[in-house]
Amino acid sequence: MQAKRFRAEITHRDGRRLNVISTTWQTATLMVPQSEIYRTFITALHARLAAAGSTARLTGGLGRMVYAAAVTVMAVLAAAMAVLLVRALVITEWSGALFLIGFAALFAWQVGGFVIRNKPQTYTFAEIPRALLP
């Protein structure tokens, strides 16, 4: 799986959706990045929509409610890991403390990166946010 996969969701007023993804399936488990092609397509699409005078609403990231829920869950899990770490240090369980530190680092890298990249945002045709393009 791709660590950084980008997805553009184009939604019509009537609710129909078209997803454009920056990777293609090579095998059942391997995805191949199409970063440059995706970037070219998305920037050209924005340029054409702007030239046509589109009134499209341009947003990026997760929805605000989903993002708030993700940040809340992350905060609760971080607090729980901190409590477990303090307990492991108090009872001198060094291997448990080391495991929790390693797990917290992995958690921050994977989940934290996802949450940071998917922060809700609104933008204009002229300024596509860097976080939305590979």
Residue-wise pLDDT for 25-74, tens only, equals 777 777 787 888 989 999 999 999 999 998 888 888 888 999 999 999 99
Residues 128, 100 within the same domain: no
Does residue 1 lie in a domain region?
no
Q: Which domain holds residue 48?
A: 7-60+122-132
- Asked if 21 and 10 touch (Cβ cutoff 8 Å), the reply is no
Q: Quick one: 84 and 100 in the same domain?
A: yes
What's the pLDDT band for 3 if we cut at 50, 70, 90? low
pLDDT tens for residues 71-124?
A: 999 999 999 999 999 999 999 999 999 999 999 999 888 888 888 888 898 888
Q: Are 103 and 97 in contact (CB under 8 A)?
A: no
- Confidence label for 1 from pLDDT (cuts 50, 70 and 90): very low
